[in-house]
Amino acid sequence: MSQSTTADKEIIVLKKKLDSAIQARLELQKDLEVQSSTFVQFISKLSHTAKGTDAQLDNKLAKLRKLLAKSSSWQDVQDMLSEITQLLLKHSATKDRNITHLHEQFHQAGQLLQKIRNLPDSLRRELRTLISETKDTKDSVIQYISPLSQLIKLYQTALISKEKIKHDVSSKNQSNTSPETTSVDSSIIERFTAFLTNLNVSSSYQPKINKIKTELTSNISHKELLDDFLEVFEIINKDLIAERDTAKVFLSTLSKTLSSVQTAVQTTISINEASKSKHSELNKKLKKNITDMAEGLNNANSLADVKVDINEKLKHIASALEEKTVFEFEQLKAMSLRLGEMQQKVNLLESQGRAFKKKIQEQQAISYQDALTKLGNRAAFDDYFSKQMVRFHHAPFDLAIVVLDLDNFKRINDTYGHTAGDKTLQVIAATLAKSIDKDQFVARYGGEEFVMIFTNIDKKQLIEKLNTIRLKVAKLPFKFKNNNVSITLSLGVTHVIGSDNIHTAFERADTALYKAKETGKNQVIYA
Ligand SMILES: Nc1nc2c(ncn2[C@@H]2O[C@H](COP(=O)(O)OP(=O)(O)OP(=O)(O)O)[C@@H](O)[C@H]2O)c(=O)[nH]1
């Protein structure tokens, strides 16, 4: 076989290797593009899921998206990622501090309660278990602080009143009366009932809360009251733990995912650097082989020498190309591995983000809902009315606010009991909700007072509408203790004017309501 045939074959092999090296390089390039587009996608999904968690975080994520859209340098992207990670770390630290504070409060109160003399053993035991169970629960949201501290205060009042009774009993030496069985001061019962009415916990606990409220309407003893307190403590605590299991995990996962993405970006940068230098080393090697080949040709004395030399050099080039292909293939594998890992993290974060969003929505729904009537509460009203006011000041339209109050409601409570009062509020709330169109708004402002917002309806039509509602409520067939009872409403109403803000408009309607009450009740007064 001639040397030229060998050289031809070598050249064919060489060409194939060159082609495959070019192909591998192209794929690598494509892969890098996919990876950076996954990263961009990740950041935009991240921004979407985290939106609303914190304004500063939203802001930084928006900046990061801009950097990515402008194809800024990886260094800038990395700097922004570091800032975001720092922000998340700061968040966890603040949250941890608040949570620790909440737990300290909870424990101090619990320990204080435990120290109280004459606490029945069973209660003391339950309290101890409750306190030790919550000891390691370092996570929560701040919304639980307020009900917990209110409940603790109430509990303390109840215990102090029990101690007082015990003291009175022993000083009067009446051995047949025990503080466990004496009935409780009605103001504590009233405050506890109001607390339970306004307590926002997951709906699964509502039947238990209702049961306790019913128990409170009968003449309960101190022991039963303290048992009820403990049960409510437990409900709040369980709700708090359940809440932690979903919402809280999100921020820390977000932080962890970001750090690992940051590491992935860092690794990509350093691998790219390393691969750049490896590539240039391999290219140098190839160049040298080709230069050597040219030199070999120049220095050759005969054709035979040339062929031998070319064969020799081709072998070197082939092995250098082989090395380059293997290297690029391995790099490709490593890249796709990292890409897969990153994708997995994005998926995980997405599903946790969805759970977090759902929980936030549930919490917002709960915090905007009045527990007793299921109408919107005062917070929902404030939110709705301020939005309408912004619209109004942008382009005025007929916007009216109605404040209404049940007449002589105290009498219902006093004559037929608090439960009858609650039922009345529920029925009237449902009637109000049914009497208005979908685009109008009604909320329970507090106690026996409701607010309504009407849009695009003039004074005459509105007064007619409100009178219809008033008569409808007056005709509701309430029956308590075999007595037919009629409940009437007084209503104050006004249209918003250009110089109004939320407060002036509300006050005008409230003054009209006051007038309606003063001048005979069961009527609508327009201001
Ligand atoms: N059952 C029940 N009663 C409530 C609730 N919130 C407030 N109340 C009661 O509503 C009553 C309001 O009494 P007042 O402010 O004297 O008003 P009124 O008796 O309606 O008298 P007028 O407003 O002058 O017609 C009080 O007895 C409160 O205890 C609640 O959630 N449930």
Atom of ligand 1 minimally distant from the CA of 521: 25
- Gap from CA of 405 to ligand 1 centroid (Å): 9
Contact 492, 402 (CB under 8 A): yes
- Gap from CA of 389 to ligand 1 centroid (Å): 30
Q: Which two tokens stand for residue 125?
A: 């035991």
Bridging pattern class, strands 441-446 and 399-406: unpaired
Atom of ligand 1 minimally distant from the CA of 414: 27
Position with higher pLDDT, 189 vs 408: 408
What SS3 class is residue 483? strand
Q: How confident is the model at residue 486 (pLDDT cuts 50, 70, 90)?
A: very high
- Gap from CA of 462 to ligand 1 centroid (Å): 26
Q: Which two tokens stand for residue 22?
A: 């070019």
Of 218, 234, 256, 289, nearest to 85 by C-alpha is: 256
- Gap from CA of 353 to ligand 1 centroid (Å): 43
Q: Whose CA is nearest to atom 21 of ligand 1?
A: 408
Percent of the chain residues past pLDDT 90, beyond the cut: 26
Q: Whose CA is nearest to atom 31 of ligand 1?
A: 447
Q: Whose CA is nearest to atom 7 of ligand 1?
A: 447
Q: Which two tokens stand for residue 9?
A: 């074959």
Burial of 508 from C-beta contacts in 10 A (0-12 / 13-18 / 19+): buried
Composition of the chain by helix, strand, coil, percent to 5: 75, 10, 15
Q: How confident is the model at residue 304 (pLDDT cuts 50, 70, 90)?
A: low
- Gap from CA of 117 to ligand 1 centroid (Å): 37
Contact 428, 409 (CB under 8 A): no
For 33-79, strand residue ranges (E) read none
- pLDDT digit string, tens, across residues 101-116: 555 655 565 555 555 5
Alpha-carbon distance values, 321 to 10, 19, 330, 332 (Å): 13, 10, 14, 16
Position with higher pLDDT, 36 vs 361: 361
Best substitution site from 193, 196, 378, 409 to test ligand 1's pocket, by max atoms within 8 Å of Cβ?
Answer: 409
Rounded distance between C-alpha atoms, residue 121 and residue 11, angstroms: 95
Rounded distance between C-alpha atoms, residue 380 and residue 433, angstroms: 15
Q: Tokens 């205060």, residue?
A: 153
Q: Residue 190 pLDDT > 80, yes or no?
A: yes
CA angle, 118 then 124 then 128, to 5° = 150
- Gap from CA of 406 to ligand 1 centroid (Å): 8
Task: For 372, list phi and psi in degrees, rounded to 5.
Answer: -75, -50
Mean pLDDT, to the nearest integer, of 68-75? 68
The radius of gyration of the chain's CA atoms, rounded to the nearest angstrom, is 38
Mean pLDDT, to the nearest integer, of 63-71? 75
Atom of ligand 1 minimally distant from the CA of 406: 20
Q: Residue 338 pLDDT > 80, yes or no?
A: no
Provide the CATH topology of domain 378-526.
Answer: Alpha-Beta Plaits (3.30.70)
The confidence score (pLDDT) of residue 391 equals: 93
Where along the chain do its domains lie?
3-53+250-364, 101-249, 378-526
Q: Whose CA is nearest to atom 13 of ligand 1?
A: 410
- Gap from CA of 436 to ligand 1 centroid (Å): 24
Q: Whose CA is nearest to atom 28 of ligand 1?
A: 410
- Gap from CA of 152 to ligand 1 centroid (Å): 25
Question: pTM above 0.80?
Answer: no
Q: Whose CA is nearest to atom 16 of ligand 1?
A: 410
Rounded distance between C-alpha atoms, residue 135 and residue 133, angstroms: 6
Q: Whose CA is nearest to atom 8 of ligand 1?
A: 447
The confidence score (pLDDT) of residue 526 equals: 97
What secondary structure letter does DSSP report for 526?
A: E
Position with higher pLDDT, 133 vs 505: 505
Contact 492, 404 (CB under 8 A): yes
Rounded distance between C-alpha atoms, residue 50 and residue 254, angstroms: 8
Of 392, 362, 497, 513, nearest to 451 by C-alpha is: 513
> For residue 525, what are the β-bridge partners?
492
- Gap from CA of 150 to ligand 1 centroid (Å): 22
- pLDDT digit string, tens, across residues 269-295: 566 667 667 767 766 776 676 666 656
Q: Of the given ranges (165-169, 176-180, 204-208, 356-360), which has the lowest mean pLDDT?
A: 176-180
CB-defined site of ligand 1, < 6 Å: 197, 372, 405-410, 413, 418, 421-422, 425, 447-448, 517, 521
Rounded distance between C-alpha atoms, residue 343 and residue 322, angstroms: 32
Best substitution site from 198, 413, 416, 522 to test ligand 1's pocket, by max atoms within 8 Å of Cβ?
Answer: 413
Q: Whose CA is nearest to atom 1 of ligand 1?
A: 421
Atom of ligand 1 minimally distant from the CA of 421: 1
The confidence score (pLDDT) of residue 138 equals: 39
- pLDDT digit string, tens, across residues 361-407: 776 677 788 889 999 998 899 989 999 999 999 999 999 999 999 99
Give all strands of the β-sheet with 489-495 in edge-to-edge order. 441-446, 449-455, 399-406, 489-495, 524-526
Q: Whose CA is nearest to atom 3 of ligand 1?
A: 421
- Gap from CA of 342 to ligand 1 centroid (Å): 59
ipTM: 0.97
